[in-house]
């Protein structure tokens, strides 16, 4: 982008120029993500229904995270359509906060393959957690 448009003179780049440049530098396995972000009006609906934690024999905390996920694309006329989802989504888990403070630092952050519909994902963390969340 800098080589092509770095002079600051016409023609100036557009978001479509950035999209084209990113496509050339992105692996085939992630091309769909660029499309979702730049070429379509895509929304991910992610809901954590329940998180159940238990201590395993190794002293770690295993968490069953029940989530519901869907992916919606909105066309130029504003019509919404559900599309199949099979995306890498971040799951974060937070430790208990110090007394009087909010816990804003995750003790766990990892991407998981999440598909459309209800599902349970099991994650293992080193210590007790207080809050688990899924977000794109």
Q: pLDDT tens digits for 27-76?
A: 998 899 999 988 899 999 999 999 888 888 888 888 899 999 999 999 98
Q: How confident is the model at residue 128 (pLDDT cuts 50, 70, 90)?
A: low
Taking CA atoms, 42 is separated from 22, 35, 38, 48, in Å, by 18, 9, 9, 20
Q: Where are the domains of the chain?
A: 1-39, 45-135
Q: How confident is the model at residue 136 (pLDDT cuts 50, 70, 90)?
A: very low
Q: Phi and psi for 37 in degrees, rounded to 5? A: -85, -40
Q: Phi and psi for 97 in degrees, rounded to 5? A: -80, 160
Give the three-class secondary structure for 123. strand
CATH assignment, 45-135: 2.60.40
């Amino acid at each position: 982008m800098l080589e092509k448009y770095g002079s600051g003179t016409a023609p100036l780049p557009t978001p479509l120029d950035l999209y084209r440049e990113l496509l050339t530098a992105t692996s085939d396995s992630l091309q769909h993500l660029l499309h979702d972000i730049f070429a379509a009006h895509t929304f991910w609906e992610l809901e954590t229904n329940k998180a159940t934690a238990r201590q395993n024999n190794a002293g770690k905390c295993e968490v069953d995270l029940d989530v519901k996920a869907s992916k919606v694309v909105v066309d130029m006329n504003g019509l919404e359509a559900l599309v199949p989802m099979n995306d890498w989504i971040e799951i974060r888990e937070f430790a208990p906060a110090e007394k009087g403070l909010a816990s804003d630092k995750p003790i766990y952050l990892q991407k998981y393959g999440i598909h459309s519909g209800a599902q349970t994902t099991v994650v293992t963390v080193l210590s007790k957690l207080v809050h688990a969340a899924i977000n794109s």
